[in-house]
């Protein structure tokens, strides 16, 4: 009991410190904004958010004499939080600082839940979701399937990208190729590359050409290494895997946008441990498993959960080898993890 009370008191203190810190940051922010607004601001113009850090963003000027220059910008209080890839209207202050005046509507929005389970956009206006995985850290089909569901839901085309092809060996090869076979058979575009050795990188470049792509995936699969290989001169930070766990070490901390010289953009994003899908319904999940589309609606029971029901079209397809067990397992795993399952 005493211990619990102590913990509660400690918790309270931590929360107090945190909220005081947040309040101080907000005050600093509004003071900075007041000073900026009181000074000479340039005309309103269009900009592109190339990185976001809590309350501030980095904006690249899109037109006029400042085009191509980058400004750290404050946000007017009435604005929603902005993410990398957002298009905005902004005004330049002095010394590389500016004010965001308005956010332009998004064409697309890639979301994922934060640690509290609240849905947060991570990148805007992307049209290609590059799902990166590697022989090491060990890939999880379920994570890939979650991204595929999210891509379908957000209307963003997916591309599966196996990096570190140089690490494929006799031991990890068979399982890896079995997994890849499943996606290839489903018709998903798939590339095998090595950021280190350069294999497949020309093909990848061609695929990305003219698109606004975002690289996602577990920490340590080599997203930033791919950026460095695709865009020499960028030199974004890369981190070794943990020797202890063989996992990534969360080197990239904020999504950042880079330009291809010939057109098109690339967003490097921080790796994740887990990708919850709290913002989708069971129907959304089913829609994300594209091979289910011709089966859904053909079960004997309208509300079939494809679990043990007689006359289930999905189970029949599984039995006949028309649906891969890995995908059914993944589907069940995702549905079971939805916060308020509608069954
Ligand atoms: N063998 C091999 N190692 C690679 C390759 N690409 C990246 N790596 C290594 O993998 C490790 C992780 O690379 P990063 O580029 O930092 O991975 P990331 O996906 O950006 O990780 P986060 O920023 O933490 O999400 C580094 O030690 C890289 O040198 C590759 O093609 N082959
Ligand atoms: Mg990185
Ligand atoms: Zn069924």
SS3 assignment, position 169:
coil
CB 219 within 8 A of CB 185: no
Task: Tell me the CA–centroid distance for residue 159 and ligand 3, in Å.
Answer: 29
CB 298 within 8 A of CB 313: yes
Give 75 or 223, the one with higher predicted confidence: 223
Name residues whose C-beta falls within 8 Å of residue 324's C-beta, 6 or more positions apart in sequence.
Answer: 182, 185
Six-digit token pair at 278? Answer: 């709290």
Residue 232: pLDDT band (50, 70, 90) is confident
Residue 4 has pLDDT above 60, yes or no: no
Burial class (CB in 10 A: 0-12, 13-18, 19+), 41: middle
Task: Tell me the CA–centroid distance for residue 79 and ligand 1, in Å.
Answer: 36
Name residues whose C-beta falls within 8 Å of residue 104's C-beta, 6 or more positions apart in sequence.
Answer: 46, 86, 87, 88, 89
Share of the chain above pLDDT 90, in %: 58
- Considering the entire predicted model, what is its pTM? 0.83
Confidence (pLDDT) at 156: 95
Give 53 or 239, the one with higher predicted confidence: 239
Q: Is 317 left (phi over 0), alpha (psi -120 to 50) or beta?
A: alpha
Task: Return the DSSP state at 76.
Answer: -
Task: Tell me the CA–centroid distance for residue 215 and ligand 1, in Å.
Answer: 13
- Ligand 1 atom 30, closest CA: 164
Six-digit token pair at 294? Answer: 């011709």
Whether residue 45 has its Cβ less than 6 Å from ligand 1:
no
Per DSSP (E only), the strands in the chain are: 45-53, 56-61, 70-75, 87-92, 97-103, 109-113, 119-124, 128-133, 157-162, 190-192, 212-216, 256-259, 265-268
Task: Tell me the CA–centroid distance for residue 255 and ligand 2, in Å.
Answer: 9
User: What is the Cα 27 distance to its own chain's centre?
Assistant: 30
Whether residue 252 has its Cβ less than 6 Å from ligand 1:
yes
Confidence (pLDDT) at 341: 47
Mean pLDDT of the residues in the chain:
88
Give per-residue pLDDT as tens, 275-300: 666 667 888 889 899 999 999 999 99
Residue 94 has pLDDT above 50, yes or no: yes
Whole-angstrom distance, CA of residue 146 vs CA of residue 254: 21
Q: Torsion angle, CA of 63/69/74/76, rounded to 10 degrees?
A: 0
* Strand 256-259 with 190-192, pairing: unpaired
Instruction: Name the residues around ion ligand 2, CB cutoff 5 A.
Output: 223-224, 251-252
- Ligand 1 atom 14, closest CA: 222
Q: Among the atoms of ligand 1, which is closest to the Cα of residue 240?
A: 27
Closest CA to 271 of 216, 227, 308: 216
Give per-residue pLDDT as tens, 137-181: 999 898 899 899 889 989 999 999 999 999 999 999 999 999 999
State the average pLDDT over residues 185-208: 97
Q: Is 222 left (phi over 0), alpha (psi -120 to 50) or beta?
A: left
Whole-angstrom distance, CA of residue 292 vs CA of residue 317: 9
Confidence (pLDDT) at 343: 42
10 Å Cβ neighbour count for 157? 15
Whole-angstrom distance, CA of residue 146 vs CA of residue 276: 8
Q: Which of 31-45, 136-150, 326-340 has the highest mean pLDDT?
A: 136-150
Give 343 or 4, the one with higher predicted confidence: 4
Six-digit token pair at 29? Answer: 């922010």
Give per-residue pLDDT as tens, 100-141: 999 999 999 998 766 666 677 889 999 999 999 999 999 989
């Amino acid at each position: 009991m005493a211990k619990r009370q102590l913990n509660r008191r400690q918790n309270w203190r931590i929360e107090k410190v945190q909220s005081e810190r947040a309040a101080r940051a907000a005050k600093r922010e509004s003071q900075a904004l007041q000073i900026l607004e009181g000074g000479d601001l340039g005309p309103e113009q269009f900009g592109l958010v190339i990185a976001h850090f809590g309350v501030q963003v980095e904006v690249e000027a899109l037109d006029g004499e400042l085009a191509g220059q980058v400004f750290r910008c404050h946000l007017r209080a009435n604005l929603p939080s902005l993410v990398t890839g957002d298009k905005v209207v902004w005004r330049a202050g002095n010394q590389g600082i500016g004010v965001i005046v308005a956010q332009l509507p998004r064409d697309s929005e890639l979301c994922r839940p934060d640690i509290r389970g609240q849905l947060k956009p991570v990148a805007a206006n992307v049209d290609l979701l590059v799902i990166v995985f590697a022989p090491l850290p060990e890939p999880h089909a379920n994570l890939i399937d979650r991204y595929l569901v999210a891509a379908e839901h957000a209307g963003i085309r997916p591309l599966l990208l196996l990096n570190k092809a140089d690490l494929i060996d006799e031991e990890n090869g068979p399982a890896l190729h079995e997994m890849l076979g499943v996606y290839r058979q489903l018709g998903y575009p798939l590339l095998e590359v090595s950021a280190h050795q350069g294999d497949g990188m020309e093909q990848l470049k061609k695929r990305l050409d003219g698109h606004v792509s975002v690289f996602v995936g577990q920490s340590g699969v080599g997203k930033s290494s791919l950026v460095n290989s695709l865009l020499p001169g960028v030199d974004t930070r890369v981190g070794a895997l943990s020797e202890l766990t063989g996992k990534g070490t969360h080197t990239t901390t904020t999504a950042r946008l880079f330009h291809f010289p010939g057109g098109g953009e690339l967003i490097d994003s921080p790796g994740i441990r887990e990708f919850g899908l709290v913002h989708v319904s069971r129907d959304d999940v089913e829609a994300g498993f594209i091979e289910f589309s011709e089966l859904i609606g053909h079960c004997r029971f309208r509300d079939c959960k494809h679990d043990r029901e007689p006359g289930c079209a999905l189970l029949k397809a599984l039995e006949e080898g028309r649906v891969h067990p890995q995908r059914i397992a993944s589907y069940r795993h995702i549905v079971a993890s939805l916060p308020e399952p509608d069954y």
